[in-house]
Amino acid sequence: MPSYTAPTKDLQYVLHDVLHVSDSDVPGYAELEPDFTSAVLEEAGKLTSEVIAPLNAVGDTEGCKLENGVVRVPSGFQEAFDQVREGGWPGLDMPEEYGGQNMPYVLGTAVGEMFSAANQAFTMYQGLTHGAASAILAHGSDQQKDTYLPKMVSCQWTGTMNLTEPHCGTDLGLMRTKAEPQDDGTYKLTGQKIFISSGEHEMAENIIHLVLAKIPGGPEGIKGVSLFIVPKFLVKDDGSLGDRNGVTCGKLEEKMGIHGNSTCVMNYDGATGYLLGQEHKGMRAMFTMMNEARIGVGMQGLAQADVAYQNALAYAKDRLQGRDVTGAKNPDGPADPLIVHPDVRRMLMDQKSFVEGGRAFILWGASLIDKAHRAEDKDADGLISLMTPVIKGFLTDEGFDMTITAQQVFGGHGYIEEWGMSQFARDARIAMIYEGANGVQALDLVGRKLAQDGGKHVMAFFDLVKNFCAENKDVEGMADFVEPLKKASKDLQAAGMYFMQNGMKNPNAALSGSNDFMHLFGHVCLGLMWGMMARASLKALEDGTPDAAFHETKLATGRYYMTRRLPATAMHLARIESGADPVMALDAEAF
Amino acid sequence: MPSYTAPTKDLQYVLHDVLHVSDSDVPGYAELEPDFTSAVLEEAGKLTSEVIAPLNAVGDTEGCKLENGVVRVPSGFQEAFDQVREGGWPGLDMPEEYGGQNMPYVLGTAVGEMFSAANQAFTMYQGLTHGAASAILAHGSDQQKDTYLPKMVSCQWTGTMNLTEPHCGTDLGLMRTKAEPQDDGTYKLTGQKIFISSGEHEMAENIIHLVLAKIPGGPEGIKGVSLFIVPKFLVKDDGSLGDRNGVTCGKLEEKMGIHGNSTCVMNYDGATGYLLGQEHKGMRAMFTMMNEARIGVGMQGLAQADVAYQNALAYAKDRLQGRDVTGAKNPDGPADPLIVHPDVRRMLMDQKSFVEGGRAFILWGASLIDKAHRAEDKDADGLISLMTPVIKGFLTDEGFDMTITAQQVFGGHGYIEEWGMSQFARDARIAMIYEGANGVQALDLVGRKLAQDGGKHVMAFFDLVKNFCAENKDVEGMADFVEPLKKASKDLQAAGMYFMQNGMKNPNAALSGSNDFMHLFGHVCLGLMWGMMARASLKALEDGTPDAAFHETKLATGRYYMTRRLPATAMHLARIESGADPVMALDAEAF
């Protein structure tokens, strides 16, 4: 039976030693003193490890059940959801006027990692609600905000995102769901949506569906899509619940993982909807949710990698099998623990260096969001917009790989469901797909974000790395980090240059390398994070920290990433520079 | 609902255009004329695609059930197993004197790929039987052979391998199962074995368990392990079945995949066993099964990758989503098929180039086994011994990755069980673990096989590559293959050199790079295979083949592997050359 220990110490390290959040002048950051964030993280850590994590396997085994239109969630979910609500966790970073606590996004992200790691399927109920509430906050009328937000911020009501239809996923222009305008200013929605996470359940009094649909007579394709609020129960003027709306769950999907979340086919049969934002501008409104959701999904990749790693590490220390080739480490026992074996170490170091680097990456990204939103910093906004597909695509691809590596440490036991390692991998798998499959992230990165604002943001990133290297090149102990980072960053620049020189003539020359570019970029980002952490830990050691072992371990883990993972950048560059020909050589018929 | 098309044309291509089997003087190969192998492959293709593949999803959904000690296999398995038996497939490459057809292993392997691709869980019932029969063939007394082999070759009786115990997997020296000698020359076995594939079921009249156990008073550890034949029903002198033996299935494991195979906890409670081979030489006898099994498992990785690829390709041609950036390819339809998108192509080409290269690798390996066994070629025996961990480890790691890539092509539908892509990944996952986890394969390769016979076999491999490059360097069209292969082979040699120079002083310097070395080696092997296929296809084109499109496609697919996959070798070399320090830096307590 797997367990979860909240990484409060490591989160504190990133927030304070690395990002120095409480020294920042971003509004709200002054509050983020170490004692305060520690108290919040400890509390969240207790709830997630003691209450929510034990329900992870329960959710996987029991799954959700649809009976006469009613969806039953797994045992214990309702009680745990009540506890989450009572603790005020769903509103942590939501505005105070709607009942939230107005904490910066960076703290919400730190807490969110724990929730996701403890139980991804469970956490999605509140995660989707957060996304839907953000969209209403950004695009709703005052009346809509007053009606929905207080209940959604508390998770008294939950929310969903309805985009996909059977014949259209990425290409939302093919959408068929219709919204017919009514005389009273409302719309009647008719159509079918699929893959709707948390689409139906009884844990909340009401469910607020955000639904993309087309108003007849509007523009063709994606330009004719509008966004609607469609509550499960209509809300009366006094805020109380009225009739059941014309929206029902037609089916629950049987999935590879996240069994504890109800993935629904939702049927809209003349359901009453309220326009959110402007007519035909639905994609813009939806993107408010999607960018936040993409970073949240990147975090899921990291979170599953962390919980899987924790359990692999415990097993590697506990399981006795074989002997250290350099001499027995447990001579009085029948064998040495797995952790003595170099290839087991390799697996553990791959995981550890990814998880800690990825954690810094996510929190750094979240701090950019705070800068963008709270300090209205346009450059930060541009940079996080560039980084979003990297965070989503790289962290979920790698995060999944790490769950597979963690499972491998268990040998045969890793394949047996009761050990729980399979679930981590099966749950992590979805993060590579939803909120835009990772191929779409790579396309977004190379096809849109790189050239955004004349390439300003990617240049800013290169400057950031360059300045970091320049500032630290003579700092004792930093050469192990600065040199590999420089090399990796050079590979990234060369790849960008290749796209510039070839992509205009032939877009496929760039797009054939998009996935490699996303991974190359991700490695450079993690290299930068490890550089920043190394700098912080060297400083702590210089200052005579009482916790020298922690910082020495950080440095060794970072050196592993720099020497054993960063060499991947040259491979990605070589693939990118082979261009479109190898990829596009065959006619479709020749396959 | 996924489907499977047997790759008879491609198998024929490898057997005849590339390996020229019927021109070989290996005994039995003269029979392997194209018409003959084609007839066998077509027949096997029909059975696997029409009868066995449709049961794949059934097996996954229903699984096996243990009721009062009896294991029920999924619906349709019994009938299909009867058809397999009636066709004589289990004995294809078994000796005629025991009812087999004495076909070369290379043909058995070609047929075996189809069975595994169609339904891995189902095929394991006969696969384990084949392995157990091979061990009895190699180590049994004449009486044992006469008693068991005719029934096992026909699969009237099935077989199992019993190695693992709850506390010991890789480290079999920790074994506790005891075999007490009896006055009549038999033994009484007592203990528990776990993860026993096909351990109990009713599809066969009897099950012949091969069980590792310790005879009390024997040497400590692995040197005191002996191998026993333990039939489910005791066999009377006249060959008829007697009493039920003291062996029962205590539990069926709930696994991530291969649900259609009964993975059993087997309890031995004073069960009667017969020594197979010599006392305390059980490991040697078991290795006869294990080497064959390891190549078979490598084939499973390839096979799951193939069937997953076939379905991904069909989906990519069928599913309309988005537009080709260089201009609509399906202007009259609502969108273009997925296959127009460069990143979808990248995924398909990764799969296609791996599957076809891996297929050649497996068949080339099988032809080495035939040379070793049928022509008693010691060099071939040494080479395939070196290659076995590469075939097993590289093809299963990569094969699994390819099923994940295939699943990714489906977007959200890939995550839904009814589409079948999840099952391919979940089934493929076990191949990285069983028959020696891939870390153990890498250890076997670097710690044992490289230095075997004074490094003779790895030198022979380097010569093989060198000679191939020398012979083909001036052949028109071959530069695209020879140059990358040379470079990759140089990386492999440099890695070997690094191990030689550093591994003696510090074994961890070699073992820290073992996994990377296995992958580096695998890429060089696939590079060589693609070189051989390119040569064959260029020749066919030169000779005015009527099937030019097939060969042009082959060449384009090979070029993809050389340009887009082989650059991985430099990355693996860089990791290897970073040595033990990054991997071993931390004390176990520091993790």
pLDDT digits (tens, 9 = 90+) for B376-416: 999 999 999 999 999 999 999 999 999 999 999 999 999 99
Name the residue type at position B193.
Answer: K
- Enumerate the residues of chain A whose CB falls inside 8 A of the CB of residue B416: 253-256
d(CA B397, CA B298): 9
- Report CB contact under 8 Å: B437, A582: no
- Enumerate the residues of chain A whose CB falls inside 8 A of the CB of residue B167: 320
Residue A285: predicted pLDDT: 83
- Report CB contact under 8 Å: A339, B417: no
Question: Is residue A183 predicted with pLDDT exceeding 90?
Answer: yes
User: Chain A closest CA to B395's CA: distance in Å?
Assistant: 16
Q: What is the ipTM of this complex?
A: 0.97
User: Chain B closest CA to A416's CA: distance in Å?
Assistant: 4
Which chain B residue's Cα is nearest to A442? B343
Distance of CA B71 to the CA centre of its chain: 26
Would you tell me which residues 216-245 of chain A have a C-beta closer than 8 angstroms to some C-beta of chain B?
none
User: Chain A closest CA to B321's CA: distance in Å?
Assistant: 5
Residue B246: predicted pLDDT: 98
Residue B290: predicted pLDDT: 76
- Report CB contact under 8 Å: B512, A320: no
User: Is A306:A318 a contact under the CB 8 Å cutoff?
Assistant: no
Residue B463: predicted pLDDT: 98
- Check if B248 contacts A (Cβ < 8 Å): no
Per-residue pLDDT averaged across B253-263, rounded?
98
Residue for token pair 């963008």? A372
pLDDT digits (tens, 9 = 90+) for B34-59: 999 999 999 999 999 999 999 999 99
Per-residue pLDDT averaged across B367-375, rounded?
96
Q: State how far the alpha carbon of A210 is from the alpha carbons of A158, A186, A213, A232, in Å.
A: 11, 14, 10, 11
Residue A247 has phi, psi (to 5 degrees) of: -130, 130
- Enumerate the residues of chain B whose CB falls inside 8 A of the CB of residue A438: 408
Question: Is residue B291 predicted with pLDDT exceeding 80?
Answer: no
User: Chain A closest CA to B254's CA: distance in Å?
Assistant: 6
Residue A211: predicted pLDDT: 97
Per-residue pLDDT averaged across A36-44, rounded?
98
Question: Is residue B293 predicted with pLDDT exceeding 90?
Answer: no
Q: Residues 6 or more apart from A183 whose CB is under 8 A from it? A: none
Question: Is residue A293 predicted with pLDDT exceeding 90?
Answer: no
User: Chain A closest CA to B584's CA: distance in Å?
Assistant: 7
Q: Which of 1.10.540.10, 2.90.10.10, 1.20.140.10, 3.40.50.1480 would CATH assign to domain A8-139? A: 1.10.540.10
Name the residue type at position A86.
Answer: E
Question: Is residue B67 predicted with pLDDT exceeding 80?
Answer: yes
- Check if B172 contacts A (Cβ < 8 Å): no
pLDDT tier, A18 (very low <50, low <70, confident <90, very high otherwise): very high
Nearest to B511 among A313, A325, A422 (CB): A325
Residue B292: predicted pLDDT: 78
d(CA A52, CA A552): 32
pLDDT digits (tens, 9 = 90+) for B447-470: 999 999 999 999 999 999 999 999
- Enumerate the residues of chain A whose CB falls inside 8 A of the CB of residue B340: 588
Chain B interface, best mutation among A415, A440, A481, by max B CB count within 10 A: A415
Question: Is residue A590 predicted with pLDDT exceeding 90?
Answer: yes
| Strand extents, DSSP E, B470-545 | none
> Which two tokens mark A34?
């170490």
Chain B interface, best mutation among A164, A195, A317, A346, by max B CB count within 10 A: A346
Give the percent of chain A with pLDDT over 90: 96
Residue A587: predicted pLDDT: 95
Question: Is residue A369 predicted with pLDDT exceeding 90?
Answer: yes
- Enumerate the residues of chain A whose CB falls inside 8 A of the CB of residue B174: 320-321, 334-335
- Report CB contact under 8 Å: A570, B575: no
User: Chain A closest CA to B180's CA: distance in Å?
Assistant: 23
Name the residue type at position A224.
Answer: G
Q: How many Cβ contacts (< 8 angstroms) between chains A and B?
A: 257
- Enumerate the residues of chain A whose CB falls inside 8 A of the CB of residue B588: 317, 329, 337, 339-340
Burial string for A474-487 (b: 16+ CB within 10 Å, else e) reads eeeebebbbebbbb
Residue B446 has phi, psi (to 5 degrees) of: -80, -35
Would you tell me which residues 501-560 of chain B have a C-beta closer than 8 angstroms to some C-beta of chain A?
506-508, 511-512, 514-515, 549, 552-553, 556-557, 559-560
pLDDT digits (tens, 9 = 90+) for B133-142: 999 999 999 9
User: Chain B closest CA to A328's CA: distance in Å?
Assistant: 14
Dihedral (CA of A135, A138, A140, A143) sign: positive
Q: Is B160 helix (H, G, I), strand (E, B) or coil?
A: strand
Residue A523: predicted pLDDT: 98
- Check if A433 contacts B (Cβ < 8 Å): yes
pLDDT tier, A292 (very low <50, low <70, confident <90, very high otherwise): confident
- Report CB contact under 8 Å: B571, A575: no
- Tell me which residues of B are annotated as active site: 435
Task: Give the number of other CB atoms < 10 A from CB of residue B411.
Answer: 22
Burial class (CB in 10 A: 0-12, 13-18, 19+), A535: buried
- Check if B164 contacts A (Cβ < 8 Å): yes
Q: Residues 6 or more apart from A552 whose CB is under 8 A from it? A: A537, A541, B590
The whole-chain average pLDDT of chain B stands at 97
Per-residue pLDDT averaged across A481-500, rounded?
97
Would you tell me which residues 299-338 of chain B have a C-beta closer than 8 angstroms to some C-beta of chain A?
313, 317, 320-322, 325-326, 329, 334-335, 337
* Strand pairing class (A65-67; B263-276): unpaired
Nearest to B412 among A339, A434, A574 (CB): A434
As a whole number of Å, the end-to-end CA separation of chain B is 45
- Enumerate the residues of chain B whose CB falls inside 8 A of the CB of residue A549: 590
Residue A84: predicted pLDDT: 98
Helices A77-86 & A55-62, crossing angle to 10 degrees? 140
Residue B179: predicted pLDDT: 98
Q: How many CA atoms lie within 13 A of B246 on its CB side?
A: 13
pLDDT digits (tens, 9 = 90+) for A521-578: 999 999 999 999 999 999 999 999 999 999 999 999 999 999 999 999 999 999 999 9
- Report CB contact under 8 Å: B170, A411: yes
Region of poorest pLDDT, from A347-356, B72-81, B166-175 = B166-175
User: Chain A closest CA to B583's CA: distance in Å?
Assistant: 6
> Which two tokens mark B275?
């020594």
Residue A286: predicted pLDDT: 82
Chain A interface, best mutation among B343, B404, B512, by max A CB count within 10 A: B343
- Enumerate the residues of chain B whose CB falls inside 8 A of the CB of residue A346: 512, 515, 583
Domain A157-281 has CATH 2.40.110.20: yes
Question: Is residue B287 predicted with pLDDT exceeding 90?
Answer: no
Per-residue pLDDT averaged across B90-103, rounded?
97
Task: Give kind and range of the element (H or E) at residue A514.
Answer: helix A514-542
- Enumerate the residues of chain B whose CB falls inside 8 A of the CB of residue A583: 342, 345-346, 349, 560, 564
Q: Residues 6 or more apart from A442 whose CB is under 8 A from it? A: A389, A393, A514, A515, A517, A518, B343
Which chain B residue's Cα is nearest to A558? B582
Q: How many CA atoms lie within 13 A of B235 on its CB side?
A: 22
d(CA A310, CA A318): 12
- Report CB contact under 8 Å: A169, B507: no
Residue A566: predicted pLDDT: 98
User: Is A570:B569 a contact under the CB 8 Å cutoff?
Assistant: no
CA-based diameter of chain A, in Å?
A: 84
Give the percent of chain B with pLDDT over 70: 100
Give the percent of chain A with pLDDT over 70: 100
Question: Rounded to the nearest 5 degrees, what angle is found at the Cα of A311, between the Cα atoms of A309 and A316?
Answer: 90
